[in-house]
Structure 1
Amino acid sequence: MFEKCEAIVMRTIDYGETNKIVTLFTREWGKVAVMARGAKKPSSRLSAVTQPLAYGHYLIRRSRGVGVLHQGELIDSMRALREDLFAAAYAAYIVELTDKSTEEQKRNPYLFELLRQTLQYMSEGRDLEIMALIYEMKMLPVLGIPPVLDRCARCGATEGSVSFSVKEAGFLCHRCEEADPHRMPLSPASARLLRLFFHIDLARLGAISVKETTKAELKAVLSAYYDEYAGLSLKAKRFLQQMSVLKDTLAPDSGQDA
């Protein structure tokens, strides 16, 4: 029996001369793999709907292994993301992060909407680095490793300057900072943005402009935290880091912290 779902194409693998195995992230069932017969042919009705990042409605037959894709109808091809090198790199990263963090056929409508909305914002031209940072923050509870951001991770204090401790998995107040000699200093703007990114309703996200120096602080904190607790090895992350180095050499510091 074929069933209809709303889905985003996470990745594809060529199978034979004309077929693809497509991994869909669906709102209804989570991550599922389906065979798209003939999808490699340019004339195939499945060609456009099986492009990476494509978002649409799909008619599939599920199974415990690889199901079958019968047809699809595009809602958004996300073409703008695929045609820009930087946008494609950031989109590939958040998709791979989602892929490596989820199990097959485990429903998570919150995560589906988070991914869909983030890709949409990226496609509309929002700041790619900021969107990736927000996504990383919001993935931490999904991975089961949320940091302590509303108080000191050691004493519970809610006032005073803070630094970030990977060891203590959260903020440290100035009275407790000696507990971690490897703590990472944080500007008030970075501390505020970490909290904001963690708690904000993405659907209500307004314009956010952040200085490059503040972005660098945020990226350093999240990179260290993911390395310590997430246990993920992401090809797209390594490529993105190379792209970020290139971007930093081309763009001067700009922006005002939100």
Structure 2
Amino acid sequence: MARETTDFRGIVIYRRDYRERDLLVKMLTDKAGPAMFYVRDGKKRGFRMASDLLPFTHGTYIGALADDGLSFINAASETHQYQQIAGDLSKNAYASYLLALVDHAFIDNRPLGGWFDQVAAALNLINRGQDEQVVTNVMETQLLTVFGVAPTWHQCVICGRADRPLDFSEQYGGMLCNQHWYLDAHRFHLDRRTVYYLQQFATLNLQRVNNIKINPLTKQRLQLTLDTLYNDQVGLRLKSKRFIQQMNRLEQKMGNLGRRD
């Protein structure tokens, strides 16, 4: 089990108690992807890195990264917590789901390539007040490829045309143009605006985004499309996702009650 002591950028995904005084801290790192860190005396009062290892904290760390098994943290510097995410229920829920999704998508202790910067950019946007659902939808769209689902978004999978109205087909794994809609009676029947955003999301570099605004109806259609793909094609049902769905149903119910009053 090789370990290399180095500096790395990290984002705390979660932490849990381990034994009486220690912690296990799951982090997303730029050099080793998701990694589980053993922190001796992490629960001890006055532990010097206590604030550096809180959920939704990001920064630079020094430690021993393992090829397999547990890694170790020796020091931290320039760490900051995503305070708006930590203090807002909706932002917290979507950020938790996003990090859980990334944790399941990638193998522990393996480099992420450019994905670390994309995830960090997503969290920065949510923390700055951009629509947490839309930012998460962008990441959901792009992570489909990591889960082994690679939809063809930009052209018809049959004839390759992109200049005709398109609709998504699970059966064919991508878009069908209107000349081939007859091939799948169960196509999604997406409107053009939803198709457009899915195409944009598939390649969007969040590091270059300052502002994202999408109308509520299109947001609903985007979420329904992505939920269907994750349920049917990926088969991933995370607790953090169920919490978001429960939260949204409650908000909708409260909104309906308010309109009746």
Per the normalisation by structure 1, the TM-score is 0.91
Segment drifting more, 139-148 vs 104-113: 139-148
CA distance in 2, matches of 1:30, 1:156: 36
Q: Which stretch has the larger CA shift, 193-202 or 227-236?
A: 227-236
**1:207 equivalenced with 2:201 (yes/no):** no
The 5-angstrom pairing of residues 7-22 of structure 1 reads 7-22=10-25
Q: What are the residue-to-residue correspondences of 1:1-258 with 2, within 5 Å?
A: 2-63=5-66, 64-249=68-253
C-alpha separation in 2, matches of 1:129 and 1:9: 21
Identical columns (%): 26
SS in structure 1 at match of 2:171: coil
Partner amino acid for 1:20? L
1:255 matched residue in structure 2:
none
Deviations 1:144-185 (Å, cap 9, x if unpaired)? Answer: 322111111223221222221122121121121121111111
1:233, distance to aligned residue in structure 2 (A): 2.7
CA-to-partner distance for each residue in 1:27-46, whole Å, 9 max, x for gaps?
A: 11212211112222352112
1: CA distance, partners of 2:91 / 2:45: 25
Q: Distance in 1 between matches of 2:64 and 2:27?
A: 12
| Segment drifting more, 6-15 vs 224-233 | 224-233
Post-superposition CA distance 1:199-220 (Å, at most 9, x none): 2221221422211111111111
Whole-angstrom distance in 2 between the partners of 1:251 and 1:212: 14
Q: Which amino acid aligns with 1:209?
A: K
Contact 2:52 2:79 in 1 (8 A): no
The question of whether the paired residues in 2 share the 8 Å contact of 1:31 and 1:106 is answered with: yes
Deviation at 1:245, TM superposition (A): 2.0
Q: Could you tell me how far apart the structure 2 residues matched to 1:45 and 1:23 are?
A: 18
Distance 1:235 1:74 in 2: 31
SS state of the match for residue 141, structure 1? coil
How far residue 80 of structure 1 moved from its aligned partner, in angstroms, is 1.6
Write the distance in 2 (CA, Å) between the matches of 1:250 and 1:148.
38
What is the DSSP-based 3-state SS (H/G/I as helix, E as strand, rest coil) of the residue aligned with 2:46? coil
Where 1:2 maps in the other structure, the secondary structure is strand
**8 Å contact kept, 2:32–2:65:** no
Q: Which runs of 4+ in 1 moved over 3 A?
A: 247-252
Query: Helix, strand or coil: the match of 2:145?
Result: helix
1:43 and 1:235 map into 2 onto residues whose CA distance is 32
Q: How many residues align?
A: 252
Q: Aligned-residue CA RMSD in angstroms?
A: 1.8
C-alpha distance in structure 2 between counterparts of 1:250 and 1:121, whole Å: 27
Q: Deviations over 1:79-98 (max 9, x none)?
A: 22111111110000000000
The answer to whether the 8 A contact 1:45-1:71 is kept is no
Flag structure 1 segments of 5+ consecutive residues without an equivalent.
253-258
- Report if aligned partners of 1:34, 1:60 keep a CA contact under 8 Å in 2: no
The alignment partner of 1:91 has SS state of helix
| SS class of match (2:16) | strand
Structure 1 CA distance for aligned equivalents of residues 199 and 245 of structure 2: 24
Given that 2:31 and 2:110 are in contact with CA atoms closer than 8 Å, whether structure 1 keeps it comes out as: no
Tell me the residue number matched to 2:259: none
Change in CA separation of 1:105 and 1:185 when aligned onto 2, cut-off 3 Å: same
Letter in 2 for 1:201: N
**TM-score w.r.t. length of structure 2:** 0.90
Gaps of 5+ in 2: 257-261
Contact 1:36 1:46 in 2 (8 A): no
